[in-house]
Amino acid sequence: MSLITSSSPHASVKNNTGAFMRQVIYATLPGLAVLTWQFGWGTVINVLWAVVVALVSEALFLKARGRSIGFYLKDYSAVVTAVLLGLALPPTAPWWLTLVGVSFAIIVAKQLYGGLGMNPFNPAMVGYVLLLISFPVAMTQWISPGDAPSLQQSLQLFAGQLPVDGLSGATPLDTFRTWAGDEAALASHPILHGELAGQGWEWVNLAFLLGGLYLISRKIITWHIPAGFLAGLAAPALVAWLIDPVRFADPLFHMLSGGAMLGAFFIATDPVSAATSRNGRLVYALLIGVLIWVIRSFGGYPDAVAFSVLLLNLSAPFIDYYTQPRTYGHNKPNRGTGS
């Protein structure tokens, strides 16, 4: 038995970035399965194509920078970015939409900043926002829950050979935002009245919740950001709903419709672009949740996870600066002032 000659702390298992990233990918599989069940094969096709685009984009840029392609690709960070963006895209997305979003996320939002660990913003959300602003129609054409097209139809949608209009429908968040305040109209839309929340989307979010709990159980992420995210979203939603339930959706609807659980457990928890101190993670996540509710209720977009995460990515260094833990023997946090 060999002696350990390095200084403590000593890890009892061999962990590396690639191993952690693979666990994240595994945790998305329940959500991917339910998305496929509810909306057809389009999401699987998007994810697979996104992974190919991400790996090729990263390899080409690494080669241009004179870096080892194999060394950097095996950390799986490009694959995670691709999977998260592929999951967020509509299942009706044509091939070129995924190509533009993923390549921009990898090249501009990640590699131009210096690669993994240097990017100030979540690359997947940068790619998503680019697509949402540039191609709003294509980004809002979702399949109606339960009306999943066949594999052949999904491939035709991917290739741009099948019209989307006859297959697409509004999401629960979009429907509620359109008819908020009209009690009769809200009651007449079945998509708003699933077992727990928005029809179809409730099961998608529960699947991502299951995957997120797996990540917490494996200590890939901590509970701080998901808990803060969901609390920040639920608290103002509860207050507003109690005041005016016709104008504002209830907390369960907010948490189980749209990308809430994907955002809470897989996107906001990005270790590079999120706040890092314990208290900072809670503040960071709470503000994301509150901002999502504000944009959903008063802004121009029915779902606001990407915008909220990017805005708080920008604020993460500021939050960390003021939430550093106290240095032992000091009455105030040591903020690196030199005094």
Enumerate the domain spans of the chain: 15-169, 172-197+216-323
- Non-local (6+) Cβ contacts of 252 within 8 A are 196, 197
**First vs last Cα of the chain: how many Å apart?**
47
Residue 115 has phi, psi (to 5 degrees) of 95, -170
Tell me what pLDDT residue 227 has: 96
Location of structure tokens 């509150």: 290
Location of structure tokens 């979003």: 101
Tell me what pLDDT residue 143 has: 86
Mean pLDDT of the chain: 88
Cis amide prior to 91 (ω within 30 degrees): no
> Is the confidence at residue 338, as pLDDT, over 50?
no
Residue 162 pLDDT level (bands cut at 50, 70, 90):
confident
Helices (H) and strands (E) in the chain, counts: 16, 2
Tokens matching residue 313: 């990515």
Tens-place pLDDT, residues 234-260: 999 999 999 999 999 999 999 999 899
Between CA 255 and CA 86, with CA 303 as vertex, the angle to 5 degrees is: 95
Tokens matching residue 80: 């995670």
Tokens matching residue 214: 């797996």
For the whole model, what pTM was predicted? 0.89
Location of structure tokens 């009209």: 182
Tokens matching residue 267: 């996107």
Residue 195 pLDDT level (bands cut at 50, 70, 90):
confident
Q: State the Cα–Cα distance between residues 165 and 180, nearest whole angstrom.
A: 24
Residue 14 pLDDT level (bands cut at 50, 70, 90):
low
- Give me the percent of the chain exceeding a pLDDT of 90: 63
